[in-house]
Every structure is written in C-alpha cells, then in structure tokens.
C-alpha cells in the first residue's frame, strides 16, 4: 500500500479549516480529517462544507464514537464523510453498528485503540469486529498529564510494530509524534500518516501553526510518498 498523508483539521473555525485544507491539498496531502474540536465547533454543517469544497477528497470524521454508533455514522456519511472513527473502548455492539452503517452508506470505519489497557489486543479486537483501519493512539490529555508528572511521555511508536504485526488491516499512529517520527511511520509498517497538532496545528490554541506551513507540508508529503509501498497484513 502506498503511504497516505492525512491532515487533522483540529480547528474550531470553519473559514480557517477551509483555508488550511486547501493549502494542505496544494502541498500534496491525500486525506482531510474533520478533527474532534472542529466537529464540536461546526458540527454536520462543517463536515458538509468541507465535503462540498473538496469533492472527491477522502474526509475522515473523527467522531470518537462511544454510543449511538449507527446514527452517528449515518449522519456523517450523509454529510459527506468517507471515513468515521469509533473507539475500541465502546461496547462491541456499538462498533458492530458503526461497521454496519459503514457498509450501508459506503463509508470506511477506523477503530481507535486509545485508552485500551492492552492497545495491541485492542487493535486486534477492532479488526475482528470489522473495522477497515486501526488508529493506534496515545491521547492528548494522557500525554500532557504524564509529562506534568515528570515521567517519560509515551509514544505510539512504542508499540506500533506490535500493532502492525497483530492485524491484517492498515494502521495509523496518532498522538504527539514529532515531525521526524511521523515521517518514520511507513518504516514501522503504518502507511497512514496523520499530521496534526503539534506538527501543523498549535496544540494549545487549536489554530493553524505559524510559519511557512505549505512549504513544510510539501517537503513532508514528498518524503512520505517517496517511501514506496508499505506491506499491509502483519508478518
């Protein structure tokens, strides 16, 4: 599988999200993500506007669904999302409902193992329940809380190879990755590379980062795309 670059629009303003998305696509980003802060701020309207502005571009709705799975997935699909996110810590029936909605409405399901006591087992469970992708995720609050205690901050790279070996579906690593670490993800066997806070978004203010972001993104995308095919399916 060729590497895919996704930008997480963890913004709270539609106009800024549209501008950032346009810039990211010019730079070579493949997928857009309506991040959780954006969905909370702009809701279905924001997802519709992104889908309308960028037809044909895959659009991930990071709902972090925990209940009401079928309805939430249906609503996002009808708003134009092509991918939805359900949490591994949700009830099995919720995950099954999201998967069924994905089949019924033609959207792919990304299962997120954030907060799983055993993230490797959580990834396998998501696959067994029918998810199309696994998001291997260390949460924002978790990272900041651990850092505040003076402890080493966990990274999704710590167990990424184990997760990749465990499942037969594509994996994405999320959670505080540095630029260098994000670029390394295909080498770990994870072809879906997400760029977001703090790489392209100010992680504290949730607004677009300062600097020549488009040039930086173009260089990042070029390097990731140049990696070549990433085997998917464990080993």
Structure tokens at 219: 């260089």
What is the structure's pLDDT at 209? 57
CA–centroid distance for 160 within its chain: 15
Q: What percent of the chain has pLDDT over 70?
A: 93
Instruction: Grade residue 214 by pLDDT with cuts at 50, 70 and 90.
Output: confident
Helix axis angle for 14-27 and 213-225, nearest 10°, is 50
Name the band, by pLDDT with cuts 50, 70 and 90, for residue 235: low
pLDDT at 189 over 90: yes
Pairing of strands 207-208, 201-202: antiparallel
CB 96 within 8 Å of CB 130? yes
CA pseudo-torsion sign 59, 60, 63, 66 = positive
CA angle 135, 34, 120 (to 5 degrees): 5
Is the confidence at residue 153, as pLDDT, over 80? yes
- The lowest-confidence range among 53-62, 105-114, 143-152 is 143-152
**What are the tokens at 179?**
């630029």
Q: What is the pTM of this model?
A: 0.92
Q: Per residue in 51-83, pLDDT tens?
A: 999 999 999 999 999 999 999 999 999 999 999
Which tokens go with 68? Answer: 């009401």
Going by pLDDT thresholds of 50, 70 and 90, the confidence category of residue 212 is confident
Domains and CATH numbers, the chain: 4-225 (3.20.20.70)
Q: Which of 5, 59, 68, 3 is nearest to 35 (CA)?
A: 59
Mean pLDDT of 2-27: 95
Is the pLDDT assigned to residue 199 strictly greater than 70?
no
* Mean per-residue pLDDT over the chain, rounded: 92
Beta strands in the chain, from DSSP E residues, in sequence order = 4-9, 31-34, 59-65, 83-87, 108-112, 133-137, 171-174, 192-195, 201-202, 207-208
Find out whether the peptide bond into 54 is cis, omega within 30 degrees of 0. Answer: no
Question: What pLDDT does residue 68 have?
Answer: 98
Q: Tokens for 233, please give them.
A: 């399916």
Give Cβ neighbours of residue 150 (< 8 Å, ≥ 6 apart): none
Band (pLDDT 50/70/90 cuts) for residue 202 is very low
User: Is pLDDT of 218 > 80?
Assistant: yes
């Amino acid at each position: 599988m060729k590497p895919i670059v996704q930008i997480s629009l963890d913004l709270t303003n539609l106009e800024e999200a549209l501008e950032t998305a346009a810039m990211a696509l010019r730079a070579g980003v493949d997928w857009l993500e309506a991040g959780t802060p954006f969905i909370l701020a702009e809701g279905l309207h924001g997802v519709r506007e992104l889908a309308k502005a960028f037809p044909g571009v895959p659009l991930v709705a990071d709902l972090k669904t925990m209940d009401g799975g079928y309805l939430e997935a249906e609503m996002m699909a009808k708003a134009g999302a092509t991918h939805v996110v359900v949490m591994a810590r949700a009830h099995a029936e919720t995950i099954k409902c999201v998967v069924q909605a994905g089949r019924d409405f033609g959207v792919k399901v990304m299962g997120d193992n954030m907060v799983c006591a055993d993230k490797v087992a959580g990834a396998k469970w998501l696959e067994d329940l029918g998810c199309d992708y696994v998001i291997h995720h260390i949460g924002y609050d978790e990272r900041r809380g651990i850092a505040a205690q003076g402890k080493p901050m966990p990274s999704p790279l710590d167990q990424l190879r184990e997760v990749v070996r465990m499942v037969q579906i594509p994996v994405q690593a999320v959670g505080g990755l540095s630029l260098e670490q994000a670029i390394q993800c295909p080498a770990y066997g994870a072809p879906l590379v997400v760029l977001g806070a703090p790489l392209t978004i100010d992680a504290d203010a949730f607004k677009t980062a300062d600097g020549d972001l488009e040039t930086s993104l173009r260089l990042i995308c070029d390097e990731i795309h140049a990696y070549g095919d990433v085997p998917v399916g464990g080993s």
